[in-house]
């Protein structure tokens, strides 16, 4: 992904590509002979090449470890010309970039708003404090159609105190419409003493609904479309097991190993915090079997 820059500011902003095919993109970022300042760079091979890395997902970190946006409030600032890079643009990484940008240019930072973003990132939707601005930041940060620099600039203005009431309202309303549609197409229940949310849903936001209830989600889409561009190709039974972040107490990798031992339709796979049943073919497992396996690997 090409870096983007905000005019008259000292930094540029980039996104690493965690996929094997992303090597060229990542080398291009490091190949500019500029310091790369990491923000939630969770891939060790990339993190060690950054001059610094604000993260809270390391082996010694816990749910109490401050999120990157909070760390950005008092970290040593990158030198002028540095590239601020992350693996996953989200509310935490984009807000951290915005905090660093404002501090470096002498602008105000609202620490209370940053603290609420921190709580959402660490605790998930179950965070006690709710604020429409945080919802708006989360949606703006995840808008892949908008260049990273523009997302950072928007959040930087918001945490500096700019009045974005109308824009925030539009973003929140869009989020509410999507969640209402998801709820209409979903059934959510809790198991394992409320530690796992089980979601049966045909909506793409099914896992998001689960996170409203628990940090670990088992989602089942009984009618996952094989090809969204050609619905005539039919559908299949798809499972997703996921956790809010690496501090959620469940070993998904170990669960995936056992699920692969039970699965006859193909291979389960995925990234650290999200695993899925075989692509394009119905899983041979039942929802009850998948839930039982994940339950065994709760910490």
Say whether both 166 and 254 belong to one domain: no
Cβ–Cβ < 8 Å for 11, 101: yes
Say whether both 138 and 251 belong to one domain: no
pLDDT score at 3 = 59
Say whether both 83 and 143 belong to one domain: yes
Say whether both 74 and 202 belong to one domain: no
pLDDT score at 36 = 98
Read off the DSSP letter of residue 22: G
The CATH number of whichever domain residue 199 belongs to comes to: 3.10.310
Say whether both 130 and 34 belong to one domain: yes
* Boundary residue ending a domain (176, 199, 220): 176
* Boundary residue ending a domain (142, 176, 210): 176
Give pLDDT tens digits for 209-218.
Answer: 999 999 999 9
Say whether both 24 and 172 belong to one domain: yes
- Closest CA relative to residue 185, chosen from 204, 172, 162: 204
Say whether both 163 and 281 belong to one domain: no
Cβ–Cβ < 8 Å for 253, 268: no
- Closest CA relative to residue 87, chosen from 249, 214, 273: 273
Q: What are the average pLDDT values for consecutive 10-residue runs of the chain, which has 299 residues?
A: 69 94 95 96 95 91 92 98 97 98 97 97 83 97 95 98 98 95 96 98 94 97 85 90 94 98 95 94 97 97
- Closest CA relative to residue 117, chosen from 130, 100, 107: 130
Say whether both 164 and 207 belong to one domain: no
52-54 vs 235-243, strand pairing mode: unpaired
Cβ–Cβ < 8 Å for 119, 47: no
The neighbour count for residue 249, using CB atoms within 10 Å, is 12
**Overall domain count for the chain:** 2
Spacing of C-alpha 263 from chain mean position: 28
* Boundary residue ending a domain (153, 176, 199): 176
Give pLDDT tens digits for 151-192.
Answer: 999 999 999 999 999 999 999 999 999 999 999 999 999 999
Residues 90 and 141: their CA atoms lie apart, in Å, by 5
Q: Which token pair is 194? A: 């409320």
Say whether both 292 and 150 belong to one domain: no
pLDDT score at 62 = 84
pLDDT score at 223 = 94
Note down the domain range covering 90: 4-176
Say whether both 228 and 128 belong to one domain: no
pLDDT score at 128 = 67
């Amino acid at each position: 992904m090409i870096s983007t820059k905000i005019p008259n500011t000292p930094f540029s902003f980039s996104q690493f590509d965690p996929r094997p095919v992303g090597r060229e993109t990542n080398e291009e970022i490091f190949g500019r002979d500029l310091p790369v300042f990491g923000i939630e760079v969770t891939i060790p091979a990339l993190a060690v090449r950054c001059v610094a890395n604000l993260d809270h997902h390391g082996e010694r970190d816990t749910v109490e470890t401050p999120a990157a946006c909070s760390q950005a409030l008092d970290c040593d600032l990158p030198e002028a010309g540095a590239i601020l890079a992350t693996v996953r643009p989200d509310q935490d990484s984009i807000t951290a970039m915005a905090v660093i940008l404002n501090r470096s240019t002498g602008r105000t930072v609202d620490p209370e708003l940053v603290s609420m973003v921190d709580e959402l990132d660490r605790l998930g939707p179950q965070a006690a404090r709710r604020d429409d601005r945080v919802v708006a930041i989360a949606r703006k940060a995840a808008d892949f159609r908008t260049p990273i620099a523009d997302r950072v600039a928007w959040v930087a203005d918001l945490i500096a105190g700019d009045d974005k009431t109308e824009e925030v309202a539009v973003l929140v309303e869009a989020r509410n419409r999507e969640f209402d549609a998801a709820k209409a197409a979903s059934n959510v229940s809790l198991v394992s003493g409320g530690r796992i949310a089980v979601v049966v849903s045909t909506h793409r936001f099914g896992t998001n609904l689960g996170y409203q209830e628990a940090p670990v989600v088992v989602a089942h889409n009984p009618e996952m479309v094989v090809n969204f561009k050609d619905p005539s190709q039919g559908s299949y039974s798809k499972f997703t097991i996921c956790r809010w972040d690496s501090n959620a107490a469940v070993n998904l990798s170990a669960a995936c190993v056992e699920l692969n031992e039970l699965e006859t339709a193909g291979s389960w796979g995925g990234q650290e915090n999200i695993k899925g049943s075989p692509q394009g073919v119905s899983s041979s497992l039942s929802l009850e079997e998948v839930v039982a396996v994940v339950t065994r690997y709760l910490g």
